[in-house]
Amino acid sequence: MAGWARAVRALVLDVSGVLYDSGGGGGTPIAGSAEAVRRIKASGLKLRFCTNETQATRENFVKKLQGLGFDISVDEVTAPAPAACRILKERGLRPHLLVHNDLVPEFAEIDKANPNCVVIGDAAENFTYANLNEAFRVLIGMEKPVLISLGRGRYYKETDGLKLDVGAYMKALEYACDVQAEVVGKPAKKFFESALAEMGVRPQEAIMIGDDIVNDVGGAQQCGMRAVQVQTGKYRPCDENHPYVKPNAYVDNLAEAVDIILQQL
Amino acid sequence: MAGWARAVRALVLDVSGVLYDSGGGGGTPIAGSAEAVRRIKASGLKLRFCTNETQATRENFVKKLQGLGFDISVDEVTAPAPAACRILKERGLRPHLLVHNDLVPEFAEIDKANPNCVVIGDAAENFTYANLNEAFRVLIGMEKPVLISLGRGRYYKETDGLKLDVGAYMKALEYACDVQAEVVGKPAKKFFESALAEMGVRPQEAIMIGDDIVNDVGGAQQCGMRAVQVQTGKYRPCDENHPYVKPNAYVDNLAEAVDIILQQL
């Protein structure tokens, strides 16, 4: 009975689809999620928010969530852009950026002169023909092209319809330059590992709670964590027939997951 | 000695890089190529021009070549758009078009209401964020998405720099919708077969002359034809180390190929 919830010291929460639903002028909180976050914090469990959001700086992302009633601060958020910045610094890489305007400040301290790699995020309106050609030319001009992608999502839904996500544009550049992108963000193992390192826990002590069967559940499990799928956000019944990812449990929503986990403490 | 040129009844010529170099306000004829086309026609050999050009109707493409001094007519040209139209008619497909404005007239007689497939060509400036999302939505809304791509080129060079070709955008849509595109144009076997059928010859009776190691040489050989690579256009010395395509011969240019072929008649 709920063995999946035992011996836990830390929780990793996906944000969009778990805390709130995006779209409609900022988003709508999911019922019970704000209270659930407060209960996790009161319990003494460690907590990280782990998102693939790349359309805003963490500062603005967190402000939006606070406005929706969530107890969340910037230093609790693991996001692709800061993870990419660490990689750029470690390897002396100077990026050409193809990202959303609102994400650019995350790269403020990074040297971008004379680029020797391309960083692609969900650039949205910045995915123009001219910008794609420019990123391509920078890449193909390198002796050994380095492409870093902030996520590998296929598409997502906004109030005005489905939109191609960064993964599609990553594939276009991969094909044109005959390279393989390095993906930063979920489901990359390193991304989950950095969230765990920030909390100082081992994978087997942590549970991921997310709505995305591949990026959240599959990614966390690959890293040795347990993972439960909420039936909010992008969850669809057909996820339960996924050919190779099986969550440790399904829950109605974050509130139910937290109920069960706190009962086992 | 030049065994590759024996027992030939028909020639298939690539156009860009063999007859002329594109860019610079319409293009520049390659020295000797216009005369070579006239000699082929005088010899009695059958002849087709086989191009992946999808930025203009055949009418306008042919007009440009005539202006450069070539003896060529519309009914001698095998191009992806008319081949796609045949497929659309055969299978009752109604396309959503993501193509260059100048190619649209090729689809004038095709029913495009209530689309049940997407046709993608080198749309150039029409590869906007909005147009890509729209093509994606049409595809993902189908029970079984059908994506037809006019070629699978990675990129090409224009006077103002390298440009992503249709293949890159095809890959983006393939990934987003988890489908495989049907490619019309070189190097597809069917495309060469239709050029041969139009001349009424068998593959072993025909020689392809092109500058592209994969699309021209590899494609024609897969179809059972002989293929020679000219050292004009996009030819690069490293093509000679291609891991799996080996032309039957290399020639300096079209004029030299025709010299050798006519000597064997």
Look at B168 and A140 and tell me if their CB atoms are within 8 Å: no
Could you read off the pLDDT of A187-201 as tens digits, one per residue?
A: 999 999 999 999 999
- CB of A216 closer than 8 Å to CB of A257: no
Angle of CA points B171, B134, A182, to nearest 5°: 35
Strand bridging mode B155-158 / B161-164: antiparallel
Using DSSP's 3-state secondary structure scheme, residue A68 falls into: coil
CA distance A215 to chain B (A): 15
- CB of B8 closer than 8 Å to CB of B207: yes
Look at A161 and B137 and tell me if their CB atoms are within 8 Å: yes
The Cα–Cα gap between A110 and A148 comes to: 15
Nearest-CA neighbor of B75 among B186, B192, B198? B198
Residue A159 confidence (pLDDT): 74
Look at A163 and B128 and tell me if their CB atoms are within 8 Å: no
Q: What pLDDT band is residue A3 in, cutting at 50, 70 and 90?
A: confident
Residue A172 confidence (pLDDT): 98
Could you read off the pLDDT of A150-197 as tens digits, one per residue?
A: 999 999 887 788 999 999 999 999 999 999 999 999 999 999 999 999
Of B129, B140, B161, the CB nearest to A127: B129
The Cα–Cα gap between B234 and A201 comes to: 55
* β-bridge mates for residue B160, sequence order: none
CA distance A234 to chain B (A): 16
Average pLDDT value for residue range A18-31: 86
Of B165, B167, B176, the CB nearest to A155: B176
- Note down pLDDT in tens along chain B; length 265 residues: 578 999 999 999 999 999 999 866 678 999 999 999 999 999 999 999 999 989 899 999 999 999 999 999 999 999 999 999 999 999 999 999 999 999 999 999 999 999 999 999 999 999 999 999 999 999 999 999 999 999 999 998 877 889 999 999 999 999 999 999 999 999 999 999 999 999 999 999 999 999 999 999 999 999 999 999 999 998 989 899 999 999 999 999 999 999 999 999 8
Of B125, B161, B178, the CB nearest to A129: B125
Lowest mean per-residue pLDDT among A21-35, A131-145, A202-216, B110-124: A21-35
Could you read off the pLDDT of A38-96 as tens digits, one per residue?
A: 999 999 999 999 999 998 999 999 999 999 999 999 999 999 999 999 999 999 999 99
Look at A176 and B163 and tell me if their CB atoms are within 8 Å: no
CA distance A158 to chain B (A): 12
Residue A27 confidence (pLDDT): 87
- CB of A171 closer than 8 Å to CB of B177: no
Task: Look up residue A213 and give its DSSP letter.
Answer: I
Helix (H) or strand (E) segment spanning residue B95:
strand B95-98
Please tell me which residue of chain B has the smallest CA distance to A161: B137
Please count the other Cβ atoms lying within 10 Å of the Cβ belonging to residue B229.
28
Look at B171 and A167 and tell me if their CB atoms are within 8 Å: no
Look at B175 and A163 and tell me if their CB atoms are within 8 Å: no
- CB of B165 closer than 8 Å to CB of B178: no
Q: What pLDDT band is residue A1 in, cutting at 50, 70 and 90?
A: low
CA distance A177 to chain B (A): 8
A178 contact residues in B (CB cutoff 8 A): 154
Residue B157 confidence (pLDDT): 80
- Ranges assigned E (strand) in A73-190: 77-78, 95-98, 117-120, 147-150, 155-158, 161-164, 182-184
Residue B1 confidence (pLDDT): 54
ipTM of the complex: 0.88
Q: Is the dihedral of CA A68, A71, A77, A81 positive or negative?
A: positive
| pTM of the shown model | 0.88
CA distance B93 to chain A (A): 24
Of A124, A132, A164, the CB nearest to B176: A164
Could you read off the pLDDT of A118-131 as tens digits, one per residue?
A: 999 999 999 999 99
* β-bridge mates for residue A95, sequence order: A117
Task: Look up residue B253 and give its DSSP letter.
Answer: S
Residue A151 confidence (pLDDT): 93
Residue A111 confidence (pLDDT): 97
Residue B158 confidence (pLDDT): 79
- CB of B251 closer than 8 Å to CB of B231: yes
Look at B165 and A173 and tell me if their CB atoms are within 8 Å: no
> Cα-flanking dihedrals φ and ψ of residue A42, to 5°?
-70, -25
Show the tokens assigned to A197: 């390192």
Close Cβ partners of B12 (under 8 Å, ≥ 6 residues apart): B47, B48, B49, B50, B78, B192, B195, B196, B206, B207, B208, B209, B220, B225
Residue A25 confidence (pLDDT): 67
Please count the other Cβ atoms lying within 10 Å of the Cβ belonging to residue B182.
15
> Which amino acid type is present at position B126?
N
Show the tokens assigned to B61: 């493409």
Please list, residue by residue across A150-170, b when 16 or more beta carbons sit within 10 angstroms of its beta carbon and e when fewer do: bbbbbbbeeeeebbbbbbbbb
Q: Which of A101, A131, A132, A183 to mutate to test the interface with B (most CBs of B within 10 A)?
A: A132
